[in-house]
Amino acid sequence: MLDVQKIIKRLKMTGMSERQAEVITNIINESQSHSELVTKNDLKEMRYEIQFEMKCLEQRVTHKVGGMILATAGVMMFSDKFL
């Protein structure tokens, strides 16, 4: 977060009027509030979400492949016994 008062004070120390310093600080503050910056915490959260989704996907694939193996084994046993 911006320390607005600190920025205004620093700008005034360079010779700007208080009004100019306030306008510049407001512009900077508004531009930051409209930008979509990603923080380290945002990335960490996304990483955990992706890891969770990957685990779920892995489990679904494992169950499907296991089911296909069991079905294939059943068909092979049926074919061997009755054909």
Domain map of the chain by residue range? 1-37, 38-83
Q: How far apart are CA 77 and CA 74, in angstroms?
A: 5
Q: How far apart are CA 60 and CA 82, in angstroms?
A: 33
CA 44 to the chain's CA centroid: 7
Q: How far apart are CA 61 and CA 3, in angstroms?
A: 51
CA 42 to the chain's CA centroid: 5
- pTM of the predicted model as reported, rounded to 2 decimal places: 0.49
Tell me the residue type at 38: V
Q: How far apart are CA 32 and CA 57, in angstroms?
A: 37
| Residue pLDDT, tens place only, 6-16 | 999 999 999 99
| Residue pLDDT, tens place only, 23-78 | 999 998 888 777 777 889 999 999 999 999 999 999 999 999 999 999 999 999 99
